[in-house]
Structure 1
């Protein structure tokens, strides 16, 4: 009887395995895995798990006025994925249903379902990884089912019937259900890992294409750069056609149906017009949704993403298939990633254009130092992280875009020290990803000084100089300490490193600027020009003893729009 019951329960586990795979395909469920779901999403998933538990009850095998069932799989999965509240709530749903069915173990089974959900939730709380490993789920299932058998023995009456029932169903349920919980979690983890790998591959592809298109997009978005960019994407071999538009016309079209989709033949499709007006990605899974005015067009599905500069839509990137319903999750990852990179590069192009209009030669030289080398180094770093640490790669992409957007919009202005430090931290996050443990950052910032104004791009060049010329020459790297405090009517900011140092007595970069230290002299002259000769930088350094740069500016709390001198 025991062997027969064990095999019967193992056969019923296929239902739970199928449900696990189906759940893993929904984005709302993946947000639960990454611990990002909101209250309504958690409530909905809890109900789903409660229903899975109820299905486990109905799939049970009658044994001595009770049921050998797989209810625990849904209940414990809810706790392992969502935490104590979700696990307990799913246990109440499934356990409450079991109680209403009656039987001498109704109360025992109801209570044990709640306890097992709570147990799984506590494991989730104290295990900080995104997804519980299968072997922990297996152990949790064993403990949970053993606990259920003990609860039946303690609360079910008469005791002799409870004892006989546990003898009959105890071992089969412990083995089958613990295995079921482990398989449930393993299938979810495998499915989500596969999706993440697809996303990582698409991100790597996007970075490779972005690197190849950089020389063209640096000249802005026109017919020449758009044609070269579209051809590079098309040559990657994934799409039947690629197009790039501005807000009024098709700039480039490569691939199938290029004869009637060029700028000289047809205007923008309906789907493209919608993306330009809404500024959001659009997926067309059939020819009607694409909205081409040519009735015999072979293009049957497309994904269209906006290209933006300073949060303003300036064009679109369109990727086409000749098959209907061909756009999948990987296409969304690729299209959004490449559009973000293109938008960032186009913003960099705008930064270059703005820099040419800046009156002061110091600012021109400073931007010329920051943009190209830092961008290419950062792209190389992100490329190396895409496969091993895709989440970190995506985070660095966001920081990179935020940095250059900040540079574009705040050029030549005074901002709060808090904003300037935020920009510096974004820069340091990228540098730490490049250098790893060789770069240690410490901060001693008084919150009272963060409200005062400082010229934009003041601290970041000093930090960059410390890394590039102070720490990089050292084999083991080193530490940078950033501090800010009030001193009477002034703010004093120091950037201290334990790098290789320099001979400031023989040649001080503040008075005799060197080409490799242009950032120091630029910041110094800008501060003196705005606040007077009593302010600016001072430098302490010696070969082998590190460098300390001290920045002194007056306390000011004027409007952020006040322009720098």
Structure 2
């Protein structure tokens, strides 16, 4: 009874299995993983040419001598190089493996060398044709391997002489080689697919963990890299990951250390490890593989390895994040990618915190600059008014001086911060009392505050610029003067503040860009209104803010809408 498989088939299968094992080891090479993700550098592609050439040459040496030729699995390495890295890698791999085969001699030496190059190019062209749509599947690899082997048989018949000997060789080796090698290529590609799937799974898990940390730590870092923020972030990372300990440092000291070793890795201590200093200086990730590299002098400390990543902003490195493992578990590639992601996440949050801080400082500086420009004129007019009262109405002069001092005290104290609505109204009353003394019956002010909203927290100096604008630019240009109404009331879940006047109205949009033709007073008025609008937008966001209705000759109505119950949120976002 004849055996089910030709003995040559079994021998080739045994040798091809060794190449499959080599393929499994190959998946651990960094350059190979870069090839899988289509982001390999030229250097990494050259490395892959050498590796696949080695696999092809090894396949030749594993071959079985037969009739002055070699039945081998060289095609596995050559075809896989083309299928995974493209025609150039496939061609160069084929050239190296083909030259090696030609050097071994035999009547099929030239035909085998030519076919090896052709197989690499063929596989590379298949890669080029399929990569835009999808990765090469194991089924496609099986077909390519089968075609490559039969193409080799055709080249042997075309170039090898004597022809009868070549035909006899092809009859014997064609089926075993095409069957075993095409299956070997397919199995190789299955392994590659498993590696891709595993990397995708690990990547999804890492992304999930990173996003979870991001969601839970965003609020902690709003004030920057403080001790409290570092402690909260470190606790959250420790809960979310499988590391032994987490530490966060600034450029000088340890801010937080949670997990194993927290009894002696104490916050507040100066940085003493060279590894941390190196990361801060070079701004690159570093892996500490030993206890000595970690720099712990405690004999009983079980921490054995750490990954240290820099925390970067536009100012450079502002700190480091450390993830530790103990003697029971080694740091893995997953840990490395996770800590890279967390480091980038925290760095981004710190940059956002810096931008928010700069925005707050800018808003505060702008409103202080605005008052620095306006107040000298107001002070000059107020003092002239008080001087006119001193001789004939000294008590009134004394009262106005009290109002004036109160006005400037609140300006200095409240500029950019938060106050109660009652305090803001008191500030307005001090301002109005002085203006009323100047213009007497030409100015009337009505205040109507709904009961229960007096203690609502509002941004300081949010109403006073509107009242000032109404008086100076709405009422005083009118010979007979006019009135200003200030109202505050609840509207569902919002606080509605209204400043309305029956003055001359406005022709221009106060929020329009400044032009050289606008008068100075109008410019200052526009800055005041724009400042209020910008502050409200940065604190609360839409739909809250300021709306202005004005008609030439018919007055102006400014309406501010603020959220009720949003005081704590506002103060956490915007601190003057």
Same fold (TM over 0.5): yes
- Structure-2 residue corresponding to 1:542: none
Where does residue 433 of structure 1 map in the other structure?
none
Match of 1:322 in 2: 326
Identify the residue that residue 66 of structure 2 maps to in structure 1.
63
Q: How far apart, in 2, do the equivalents of 1:199 and 1:531 lie?
A: 59
1:3 alignment counterpart:
6
Which runs of structure 2 are paired with 1:167-178 in the superposition (5 Å)?
Answer: 167-178=171-182
Bigger Cα Rg: 2
**What are the equivalent positions in structure 2 for 1:240-251 lying under 5 Å apart?**
240-251=244-255
* Pair 1:333 & 2:358 matched: no
Q: Is the 8 A contact 2:238 2:258 kept in 1?
A: yes
Please state if 1:51 is matched with 2:39.
Answer: no
Within 5 Å, which residues of 2 pair with 1:153-192? 153-192=157-196
Distance 1:345 1:150, change over 3 A: same
Distance 2:154 2:17 in 1: 27
For 1:300 and 1:102, how far apart are their aligned partners in 2?
55
Pairwise CA RMSD of aligned residues? 2.6
C-alpha distance in 2 between matches for 1:531 and 1:119? 73
2:302 to 298, 303, 312: 298
User: Which consecutive residues of structure 1, in runs of 5 or more, have no partner in the other structure?
Assistant: 364-509, 514-520, 534-565
2:239 paired residue among 235, 240, 261: 235
> 2:260 pairs with 256, 262, 266, which one?
256
- 334-343 or 42-51, which moves further after superposition? 42-51
Separation of aligned partners in 2, 1:135 and 1:267: 56
Bigger relative CO (Cα 8 Å, ≥ 6 apart): 1
TM-score, normalised to structure 2's length? 0.62
1:211 paired residue among 212, 215, 218: 215
Q: Tell me the CA shift for residue 250 of structure 1.
A: 0.8
Correspondence for 1:149 among 142, 148, 153? 153
| C-alpha separation in 1, matches of 2:230 and 2:140 | 52
* Partners of 1:529 and 1:284 in 2: CA distance: 60
Query: How many residue pairs end up in the alignment?
Result: 377
Partners of 2:54 and 2:518 lie apart in 1 by 72
Deviation at 1:311, TM superposition (A): 5.2
What is the CA–CA distance in structure 2 between the aligned matches of 1:313 and 1:324, rounded to whole Å? 32
Equivalent pair of 2:101/2:109 in contact (CA under 8 Å): yes
1:88 equivalent in alignment to 2:88: no
Aligned-residue offset at 1:35: 2.9
Contact 2:253 2:268 in 1 (8 A): no
CA contact (8 A) 2:234 2:258 kept: yes
| 1:127 aligned residue | 130
Please give the secondary structure, in 2, of the residue aligned with 1:262. Answer: coil
Q: Deviations over 1:58-82 (max 9, x none)?
A: 1111222211110000111111122
| Cα shift at 1:150 | 0.8
Task: State the TM-score, normalized to the length of structure 1.
Answer: 0.63
Q: 2:197 aligns with which of 183, 190, 193?
A: 193
Give yes or no for contact 1:283–1:327 (8 Å, CA) kept in 2: no
Kindly report which structure 2 residues correspond to 1:411-450, keeping only aligned pairs within 5 A, or say none: none
Corresponding position of 2:359: 355
Q: In the alignment, does 2:34 pair up with 1:31?
A: yes
Distance 1:106 1:292, change over 3 A: same
Q: Please name the residue that 1:72 is paired with.
A: 75
Shift of residue 96, structure 1, vs aligned partner: 1.3
Equivalent position of 2:274 in the other structure: 270
Q: How far 1:201 moved relative to its partner?
A: 0.8
Name the SS of the counterpart of 2:92 in structure 1. Answer: helix
Structure-2 separation of matches of 1:268 and 1:324: 25
Q: 1:319 to 1:71 in 2, by over 3 A?
A: same
Residues 37-46 or 205-214, more deviating? 37-46
Q: Is the 8 A contact 2:253 2:269 kept in 1?
A: no
Task: Indicate how the Cα distance of structure 1 residues 341 and 199 shifts in structure 2: closer, same or farther if over 3 A, else same.
Answer: same
How many angstroms apart in 2 are the aligned matches of 1:336 and 1:264? 25
- Higher mean displacement: 240-249 or 264-273: 264-273
Query: What SS does the corresponding residue of 1:91 show, helix, strand or coil?
Result: helix
Most deviating of 15-24 and 108-117 = 15-24
CA distance in 2, matches of 1:43, 1:71: 19
List gaps (5 residues or longer) in structure 2.
368-506, 520-576
Q: Whole-Å Cα distance in 2 between the matches of residues 250 and 529 of structure 1?
A: 52
